[in-house]
Copies of this chain bind each other. A is one copy, B any other.
């Protein structure tokens, strides 16, 4: 069995692989896990020994298929628990991440299988992220971030990239929820800000915000 710590390293390496071609660097992992590079090196040696990562000193690491499978199952747990907390226990979407970080490590096949059924086999978590299947299949949803939109273009908001509670609270405050139809009505080339319309309201958002809102493609 792998420790919570090992599982968190695998998850971090997996997440890195989603946005980068090359393997994750020691420093990138250290940053993601809020630890020091030297600690990461130690752990990489250990994970390599367990055949969970491909590690060559001084070069980045990638997951082996065994490592990837573990990472995906932890992510599955995480997202199912987030659905549980929001749908059943009335949590807000900005309150669930830290708790799910703990719950995800509880290992019980039956627990997850039955939780999945209890939740009616959800495919997306509260932040629009796809939930991997039991066999580690994960749907690749086609989407682009709002900053790439042209004027008058519109689409459905389906995913939020930054899921820090600060950002999520900002979105909630402005009624920007998953499923809302958004239309770009103005663009400011000066600072790349956008004016958007949705429901019955309008809002000016910074480029940074736009880059974190993903729209169905």
**Chain A residues with a Cβ under 8 A of chain B:** 85, 88-91, 95, 99, 102-103, 106, 108, 110-111, 114-115, 118
Question: Among the interface residues A91, A95, A103, A111, which one has the most CB atoms of the partner chain B within 10 A?
Answer: A111
B103–A106 contact, CB under 8 A?
A: yes
Given A99-B111, A111-B99, verify A118-B106 contact (CB < 8 Å): no
A114–B91 contact, CB under 8 A?
A: yes
B110–A95 contact, CB under 8 A?
A: yes
Inter-chain contacts of A90 with B (CB < 8 A): 114
Inter-chain contacts of A88 with B (CB < 8 A): 118
Partner of A111, one of B89, B111, B114, B115: B89
A99–B108 contact, CB under 8 A?
A: yes
Q: Knowing that A90-B114, A99-B108, A102-B106 touch, tell me 13 more A-B residue pairs with CB under 8 angstroms.
A: A85-B111, A88-B118, A89-B111, A89-B114, A89-B115, A89-B118, A91-B110, A91-B114, A95-B110, A99-B106, A99-B111, A103-B103, A103-B106
